[in-house]
C-alpha cells in the first residue's frame, strides 16, 4: 500500500494547526436572556477555563437550587487542553507517517473523542438541571438544558451554541476526511 | 308625532357623531397652552423615549439641602440626588465610617456653587467640586461613582459663597468667603470689625491620585463680603476675578448699610504670582496656614471699581474680558483683561484701599451695558459664539446680548426671578450654544400646589435660535448654580472592581468571620442576593451576637458584581443604615450600647427574596 500523497499530508498538518489554535478559542457557550437582563448573561467554556458572567449566573441559579458553575467543579478543565494537545500531536504524527491505517485510527479517535465530549457535556447539563437542592426557595421541575438550541426556564430563555474552538476542530475533522477520498485509489 | 322631534333627534345624532369622530379623548393636559402648536413641537424637543438617553448631565447645587441634584437635559428628568454635605439615609451617606468621618459631626450643609474639574479650560468629566456656605467646607465628588471622596474644613473662613471656581487645569480651587470673621474665628468686638475681621480666601488643591483636598495657602483679604468669582481662561489663565459687596464694612442691617457706596470692587488677582510669593516665603504662619496679608505681602492683588453690590463676574470664553453683573445697578460692566494688564504694568492706579492698589476704572472698562428696563442682572453665561446671557432677577427674564457691542439681541421671560443660569458648558473655553437652564428662585403657581412651601423651578431654554422656554421642571430647594456637561464626557463604572488588597474585603462566603478581641468585635461579612453571611460556619450565619458595650465594626462586601444590585444594611432601633453598591466594601462602626434583640435587614430592594434578606443583632445585657 502506497503512502498518502504529499497534499494529503499537508492537509493533515493543517488539521493539526487548527486543533492547536482551537485551544485559544471558546468551544461552547450558553447565553441567558431575561426581561431584566436584556443584554444577556453568558457561560463561555474554553478547554481550560470558564468565562462570562459566571458569578451572576450562579447567584441567580441558587434560587432554584442549582449547584455552582466553577472551574473547580469541572475537573475536565484541568486536562482537556492536554488531551487536545495530544490529539494534535497524533495528527502531526499521522501527517509524518502518511499511512492510511494510522489516519483511520486517528479518525476513529476523533469520533470517539467527540462522542465522549458530547456525552460528558450532556452528563453535566443533566446533573445541573436534575440534581437541584430540595431546599431551594423556588421549586422547578428537573430539566436538561440542551447542548444546542433554545430552552425556557422561568424568566430566562437560554441559547446554547458551539463556538469557534469547536468549529475549528470540525474543520480539522473534515480536513482529515479529504485524504481518504483524495487518495482512495492508493 | 311632533314635527320638531325628528329635527332635534337629527341634530343630537349629528353632535354625537361629531364628538365620537372629532373630539380628543386622549390623556394629557387639556388647557389652552397644551393645544398651542408651538408648545407641541417644544414637547418633541424635550421628550426622550425609553431606550434613549439625554444629551447632557445637569449638576444642580442643592443649596441648604447640602446635596447635589443630577438632571438629564433636555428631558429635565431628575436622575439622582447625590448627598454631599448632609447625611442621607437613602444612600447610607453619613452613616458608614468614611462618610461619617467626612461629615465631621455636621448634620447639614449649604451647597452653593458647583464646579467641574477642568483640563485646558474645558470640563474633563473627572471630578465635581462644591463648597458649603453653612459650615465652611469644600468637597470633591468622583464622577466614576458619583460619590464624595473628600471633604475639607476651611479654617479662618466663614461661608465660602464666592466659590468654587477652578483654574483652567484644576491647579487650584479658590474659596473666597461671604462673611468676614477674625482669624481663627476668635471672639472680637464688632466695633473692631475693620481692624480685626478679615475676608479670608483659601487656595485649595486636589490630589487626584489620593483623592485628597488640601489648603495650599490663604489670603487675608479686607473684611468685605465676596460674592461670586471666575477663573481666567487662555490669555487670562493665570488670573481670577471676584466681586465684593459691603466694602462699607457695615456690621449691622447690611440690606441698607452695605448698599450705600456707589462703587464696590472686583478683586483681580494673579494666582501664579501668589503661588510664587508663597514659594518665596512671603507669608505669615497663622493658625497653621500660610497666610498672605495683602497690605504687607505686596503684589498680585488689585481692585477694580464697579457699580455697587455686583453679583456675578464672568470671564468670556476667549478669556479677553470679564463681565460684572450689577444686581443693584441695572447694568453689566464689561472690562478688558488686556487693558487691565496694561494698567497694572503702567501703575495706572487711582488710589489704594486696605493696602491694595485700585486700578483706574476708566482705563480698563470697555462699556456699561444697560438693556432697556432690565433690572437685577445677576449672572452671565455664554454660547458658542461668545454671546452673553444674563439673568435678570427683578424683571424675571434672560437677556441675550453681544459683549463686543453691548447690543441687546434677544429676551425671554422666565417664571420667576432667576438667580443664576447655566448654559451647556457655558463657563468653559468652548460653550456648546445649545441649552440654557434658568434657575428660578420663585415657582409660585407653576406646579400643582403642595401647600405654602414651594419647590424651586428650573426652566430649559433652547438657545440655538430665538430663545424659547421649552420645559419647566420643579426642583427641591435650592439650585444656586449648576454645571451642564456633555453626557459622553462622564465615564461611570457600574460595579466596583475587586480589590484583593483591601483588608476589609471578603469576596467569598466561606471567608466570612466574626473576630472578637476583648470588647472589640470585627465582622467580615458579605451581602448577596438574598442573604447576609457574617460567619459561614456559625449555626446562624446571618446573626451577630455581641455583649452590651462592645465596640462593633461591620465590614460588609456586596459580592453581587451585577449592575444595579445594591444592598442596604440596617439594624432596627440602632439608627444606622449603610449602602453597599455592587462589588463595594463598606464599613460601619458603633458601640452596642443598647441590650436586646434587634432585627437587621437589607434596606435596598435587591431581589424577589429581598424581604427574606434579614438576620438578628443580639446584644447580651451586662450582668
**Residue-range domain boundaries for chain B:** 56-489, 509-620
Residue of B nearest to A62 (CA): B529
C-alpha grid cell for residue B589?
462602626
Contact B594, B617 (CB under 8 A): no
Q: Which residues on chain B are in Cβ contact (under 8 Å) with A55?
A: 559-562
CB B61 within 8 A of CB B475: no
Q: Which residue range(s) make up the domain with A162? A: 6-182
Q: How far does the CA of residue B209 sit from the closest CA of chain A (Å)? A: 30
Q: What is the pLDDT of residue A3?
A: 84
SS3 labels along chain A: CCCCCHHHHHHHHHHHHHHHHHCCCCCEEEEEEECCEEEEEEEEECCCCEEECHHHHHHHHHHHCCCCCCHHHCCHHHHHHHHHHHHHHHHHHHHHHCCHHHHHHHHHHHHHHHHHHHHHHHHHHHHHHHCCCCCCCCCCCCCCCCCCEEEEECCEEEEEEECHHHHHHHHHHHHHHHHHHHCCCC
Q: Do residues B103 and B151 touch, judged by C-beta distance below 8 A?
A: yes
Backbone angles phi, psi at B37, to 5 degrees: -65, -35
**Distance between CA atoms of B579 and B87, rounded to whole angstroms?**
13
Chain B residue numbers touching A60 (CB-CB < 8 A)? 529
User: With helix as H, strand as E and coil as C, how does B139-179 read?
Assistant: EEEECCCCEEEEEEECCCCECCCCCCEECCCCCCEEECCCE
Sign of the torsion angle spanned by Cα atoms B598, B603, B606, B611: positive
**Residue length of chain A:** 186
Question: What residues in A contact B561, CB-CB < 8 Å?
Answer: 55-56
Question: What rounded mean pLDDT belongs to chain B?
Answer: 95
Q: Are strands B614-620 and B543-547 parallel, antiparallel or unpaired?
A: parallel
Q: Does some domain include residue A51?
A: yes
The per-residue pLDDT for B95 is: 97
The pLDDT score that the predictor gives to residue A181 is 87
Residue A100 covered by a domain: yes
According to DSSP, residue B91 is labeled T
The C-alpha angle B407, B410, B416, rounded to 5 degrees, equals: 125
Q: Which of A52, A53, A55, A156 to mutate to test the interface with B (most CBs of B within 10 A)?
A: A55
Tell me which chain A residue has its CA closest to the CA of residue B507: A55
Is pLDDT of B33 > 70?
yes
Distances (CA, A) of B602 to A64, A136, B530, B569, B612: 21, 20, 9, 5, 9
Query: At CB < 8 Å, which residues of chain A contact B?
Result: 53, 55-56, 59-60, 63, 137
Angle ∠(B502,B506,B511) on CA atoms, nearest 5: 130
In Å, how far is A126's CA from the nearest CA of chain B?
Answer: 25
Residues 6+ apart with CB under 8 A from B617: B543, B544, B545, B546, B571, B574, B592, B597, B598, B599, B600
- Closest approach of chain A CAs to the CA of B563, in angstroms? 10
Question: CA A55 to CA B488: how far, in whole Å?
Answer: 30
Would the CB atoms of A56 and B562 count as touching at under 8 Å? yes
Chain A residues with CB-CB distance to B528 below 8 A: 59
Residue closest to A156 by CA, chosen among A57, A54, A53, A70 = A57
CA distances from B504 to A145, B189, B358, B470, B498 (A): 39, 50, 57, 50, 12
Pairs across A and B, CB distance < 8 A: 18
Min Cα–Cα distance to chain B from A52, Å: 12
B529·A53 Cβ contact <8 A: no
The distance of A61 to chain B (nearest Cα, Å) reads 11
The answer as to whether A1 is a domain residue is no
Pick the residue of A39, A58, A59 with the most B CBs within 10 A to test the interface with B by mutation.
Answer: A59
Contacts of A132 (CB under 8 A, 6+ apart): A64, A65, A66, A140, A142
Per the model's pLDDT, the better-predicted residue between B329 and B565 turns out to be B565
Query: Do B560 and A137 make contact, defined as CB atoms within 8 angstroms?
Result: no
Give the CATH number of domain B56-489: 2.130.10.10
Give the model confidence (pLDDT) of B348-400 as tens digits. 999 999 999 999 999 999 999 999 999 999 999 999 999 999 999 999 999 99
**3-class secondary structure, B506:** coil
Of B561, B608, B612, the CB nearest to A55: B561
Least confident of A171-175, B30-34, B124-128, B183-187: B30-34
Backbone torsions φ then ψ of A59, nearest 5 degrees: -55, -40
Give domain B509-620's CATH superfamily. Cupredoxins -  blue copper proteins (2.60.40.420)
pLDDT in tens, B530-576: 999 999 999 999 999 999 999 999 999 999 999 999 999 999 999 99
User: Residue for cell digits 449649604?
Assistant: B110
Indicate yes or no: CB of B609 within 8 angstroms of CB of A60. no
Question: Which pLDDT does position A2 carry in this prediction?
Answer: 72
Q: How confident is the model at residue B20 (pLDDT cuts 50, 70, 90)?
A: low
Q: Which residues of B touch A53 (CB under 8 A)?
A: 562
Instruction: Give the tens place of pLDDT for each residue, A84-112.
Output: 999 999 999 999 999 999 999 999 999 99
**Separation CA B259–CA B244 (nearest Å):** 12
B607–chain A nearest CA distance, Å: 10
Put simply, the answer to whether A137 touches B559 (Cβ < 8 Å) is: no
Which residues on chain B are in Cβ contact (under 8 Å) with A59? 528-529, 560, 562
Residue B424 has pLDDT above 60, yes or no: yes
The complex's ipTM works out to 0.81
Cis peptide before B164 (omega within 30 of 0): yes
What is the number of other CB atoms lying within 10 angstroms of the CB of residue A128? 18
Chain B: residue nearest A59 by CA?
B529
Rounded average pLDDT over B313-338: 94
Question: Does B1 score more than 60 pLDDT?
Answer: no
Contact state of B529 with A55 under an 8 Å Cβ cutoff:
no
pLDDT at site B29: 77
Q: Which residues contact B276 (CB under 8 A, 6 or more apart)?
A: none
Residues of A in contact with B608 (CB under 8 A): 63
State how far the Cα of B449 lies from the Cα of B297, in Å rounded to an integer. 56
State the Cα–Cα distance between residues B107 and A33, nearest whole angstrom.
45
How close B613 comes to chain A (CA, Å)? 13
CA A59 to chain B, closest CA, distance in angstroms equals 7
- pLDDT of amino acid B24: 61
Torsion angle in degrees (nearest 10) through CA of A41, A47, A48, A54: 10
Angle between helix axes A6-22 and A76-97 (nearest 10 degrees) is 170
**Which of B494, B509, B529 has the most A C-beta neighbours within 10 Å, making it the best mutation to test the interface with A?**
B529
- Give yes or no for residue B223 having a pLDDT over 60: yes
Measured at the CA of A71, the angle between CA A68 and CA A73, to 5 degrees, comes to: 55
Q: Is the pLDDT of residue B517 over 60?
A: yes
Tens digit of each residue's pLDDT (9 = 90 or more) over B262-297? 899 999 999 999 999 999 999 999 999 999 999 999
Cβ-based neighbour number of residue B408 at 10 Å: 15
- Residues B269/B273/B274/B279 CA torsion (nearest 10 deg): 180
Task: State the cell numbers at B33.
Answer: 397652552
Contact residues for B484 (Cβ-Cβ < 8 A; gap 6+): B56, B57, B58, B59, B73, B422, B423, B424, B425, B426, B435, B437
Cell 425609553 -> residue: B50
Beta strands in B232-307 (DSSP E): 239-245, 263-270, 284-286, 289-292, 301-307
What is the total count of domains within chain A?
Answer: 1
Closest CB to B528 among A53, A59, A137: A59
pLDDT score recorded for residue A182: 86
Partners of residue B612 in chain A, C-beta under 8 Å: 137
A73 CB-side CA count, 13 A: 14
- Distance between B575 CA and the closest CA of chain A, angstroms: 30
Which residues of chain A fall short of a pLDDT of 50? none
- Which residue among A55, A56, A137 sits closest to B609, beta carbon to beta carbon? A137
What is the reported pLDDT for B2? 67
Q: Closest Cα partner for B300 from B255, B322, B268?
A: B268
User: Is pLDDT larger for residue B8 or for residue B200?
Assistant: B200
Residues of B in contact with A56 (CB under 8 A): 560-562
Asked if residues B476 and B564 have their Cβ atoms less than 8 Å apart, the reply is: no
Tell me the residues of B at the A interface, defined by beta carbons under 8 Å apart.
Answer: 528-529, 559-562, 608-609, 612
Distance in Å, alpha carbon of B612 to nearest chain A alpha carbon: 10
CB contact under 8 A, B561 and A56: yes
Amino acid at each position: 500500500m502506497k503512502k498518502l500523497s504529499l497534499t494529503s499530508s499537508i492537509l493533515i498538518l493543517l488539521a493539526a494547526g487548527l486543533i492547536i489554535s482551537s485551544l485559544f478559542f471558546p468551544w461552547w457557550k450558553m447565553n441567558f436572556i431575561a426581561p431584566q437582563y436584556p443584554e444577556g448573561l453568558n457561560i463561555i467554556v474554553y478547554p481550560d477555563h470558564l468565562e462570562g458572567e459566571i458569578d451572576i449566573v450562579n447567584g441567580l441559579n441558587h434560587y432554584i437550587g442549582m449547584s455552582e458553575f466553577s472551574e473547580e467543579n469541572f475537573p475536565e478543565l484541568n486536562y482537556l487542553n492536554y488531551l487536545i494537545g495530544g490529539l494534535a500531536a497524533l495528527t502531526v504524527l499521522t501527517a509524518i507517517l502518511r499511512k492510511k491505517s494510522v489516519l483511520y485510527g486517528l479518525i476513529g479517535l476523533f469520533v470517539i473523542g467527540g462522542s465522549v465530549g458530547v456525552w460528558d457535556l450532556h452528563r453535566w447539563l443533566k446533573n445541573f438541571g436534575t440534581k437541584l437542592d430540595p431546599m431551594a426557595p423556588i421549586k422547578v421541575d428537573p430539566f436538561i438544558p440542551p447542548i444546542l438550541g433554545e430552552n425556557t426556564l422561568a424568566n430566562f430563555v437560554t441559547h446554547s451554541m458551539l463556538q469557534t474552538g469547536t468549529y475549528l476542530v470540525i474543520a480539522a475533522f473534515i480536513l482529515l476526511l479529504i485524504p481518504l477520498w483524495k487518495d482512495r485509489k492508493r | 308625532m311632533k314635527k320638531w322631534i325628528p329635527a332635534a333627534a337629527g341634530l343630537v345624532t349629528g353632535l354625537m357623531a361629531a364628538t365620537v369622530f372629532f373630539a380628543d379623548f386622549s390623556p394629557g393636559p387639556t388647557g389652552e397652552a397644551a393645544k398651542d402648536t408651538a408648545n407641541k413641537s417644544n414637547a418633541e424637543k424635550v421628550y426622550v423615549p425609553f431606550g434613549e438617553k439625554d444629551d447632557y448631565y445637569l449638576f444642580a447645587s442643592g443649596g441648604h439641602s447640602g446635596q447635589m441634584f443630577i438632571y438629564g437635559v433636555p428631558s429635565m428628568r431628575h436622575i439622582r440626588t447625590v448627598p454631599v454635605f448632609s447625611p442621607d439615609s437613602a444612600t447610607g451617606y453619613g452613616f458608614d465610617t468614611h462618610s461619617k468621618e467626612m461629615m465631621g459631626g455636621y448634620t447639614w450643609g449649604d451647597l452653593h456653587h458647583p464646579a467641574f474639574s477642568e483640563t485646558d479650560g474645558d470640563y474633563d468629566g473627572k471630578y465635581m467640586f462644591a463648597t458649603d456656605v453653612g459650615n465652611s467646607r469644600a468637597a470633591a465628588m468622583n464622577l466614576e461613582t458619583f460619590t464624595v471622596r473628600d471633604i475639607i474644613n476651611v479654617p479662618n473662613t466663614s461661608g465660602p459663597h464666592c466659590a468654587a471656581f477652578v483654574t483652567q487645569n484644576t491647579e487650584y480651587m479658590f474659596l473666597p468667603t461671604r462673611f468676614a470673621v477674625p482669624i481663627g474665628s476668635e471672639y472680637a468686638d464688632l466695633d473692631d470689625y475693620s481692624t480685626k475681621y478679615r475676608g479670608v480666601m483659601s487656595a485649595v488643591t486636589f490630589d487626584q491620585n489620593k483623592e485628597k483636598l488640601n489648603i495650599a495657602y490663604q489670603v487675608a483679604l479686607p473684611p468685605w463680603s465676596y460674592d461670586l468669582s471666575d477663573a481666567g481662561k487662555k490669555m487670562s489663565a493665570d488670573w481670577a476675578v471676584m466681586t465684593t459687596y459691603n466694602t462699607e464694612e457695615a456690621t449691622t442691617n447690611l440690606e441698607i448699610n452695605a448698599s450705600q457706596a456707589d462703587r464696590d470692587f472686583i478683586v483681580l488677582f494673579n494666582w501664579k504670582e501668589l503661588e510664587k510669593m508663597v514659594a518665596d516665603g512671603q507669608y505669615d504662619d497663622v493658625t497653621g496656614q500660610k497666610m498672605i496679608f495683602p497690605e504687607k505681602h505686596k503684589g498680585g492683588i488689585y481692585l477694580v471699581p464697579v457699580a455697587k453690590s455686583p453679583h456675578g463676574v464672568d470671564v468670556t470664553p476667549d478669556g479677553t474680558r470679564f463681565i460684572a453683573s450689577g444686581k443693584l445697578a441695572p447694568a453689566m460692566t464689561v472690562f478688558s483683561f488686556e487693558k487691565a494688564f496694561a494698567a497694572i504694568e503702567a501703575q495706572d492706579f487711582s488710589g489704594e484701599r486696605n493696602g491694595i492698589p485700585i486700578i483706574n476704572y476708566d482705563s480698563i472698562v470697555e462699556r456699561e451695558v444697560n438693556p432697556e428696563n432690565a433690572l437685577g442682572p445677576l449672572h452671565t453665561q455664554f454660547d458658542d459664539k461668545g454671546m452673553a446671557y444674563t439673568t435678570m432677577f427683578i424683571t424675571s427674564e434672560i437677556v441675550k446680548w453681544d459683549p463686543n457691542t453691548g447690543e441687546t439681541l434677544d429676551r425671554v421671560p422666565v417664571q420667576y426671578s432667576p438667580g443664576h443660569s447655566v448654559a451647556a458648558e457655558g463657563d468653559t473655553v468652548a460653550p456648546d450654544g445649545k441649552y440654557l437652564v434658568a434657575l428660578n428662585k420663585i415657582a409660585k403657581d407653576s406646579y400643582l400646589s403642595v401647600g405654602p412651601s414651594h419647590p424651586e423651578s428650573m426652566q430649559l431654554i433652547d438657545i440655538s435660535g430665538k430663545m424659547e422656554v421649552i420645559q419647566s421642571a420643579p426642583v427641591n430647594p435650592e439650585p444656586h448654580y449648576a454645571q451642564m456637561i456633555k453626557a459622553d464626557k462622564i465615564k461611570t463604572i457600574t460595579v466596583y472592581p475587586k480589590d484583593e488588597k483591601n483588608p476589609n474585603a471578603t469576596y467569598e462566603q466561606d471567608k466570612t468571620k466574626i473576630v472578637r478581641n476583648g470588647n472589640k468585635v470585627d465582622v467580615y461579612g458579605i451581602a448577596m442576593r438574598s442573604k447576609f453571611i457574617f460567619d459561614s460556619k456559625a449555626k446562624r450565619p446571618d446573626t451577630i451576637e455581641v455583649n452590651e458595650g462592645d465596640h462593633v465594626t461591620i465590614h460588609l462586601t456586596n459580592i453581587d458584581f451585577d449592575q444595579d444590585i445594591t444592598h442596604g444594611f440596617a439594624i432596627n432601633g440602632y439608627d444606622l443604615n449603610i449602602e453597599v453598591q455592587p462589588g463595594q466594601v463598606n464599613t460601619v462602626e458603633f458601640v452596642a450600647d443598647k441590650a436586646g434583640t434587634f432585627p437587621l435587614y437589607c434596606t435596598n430592594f435587591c431581589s424577589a427574596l429581598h424581604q427574606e434578606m434579614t438576620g438578628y443583632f443580639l446584644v447580651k445585657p451586662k450582668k
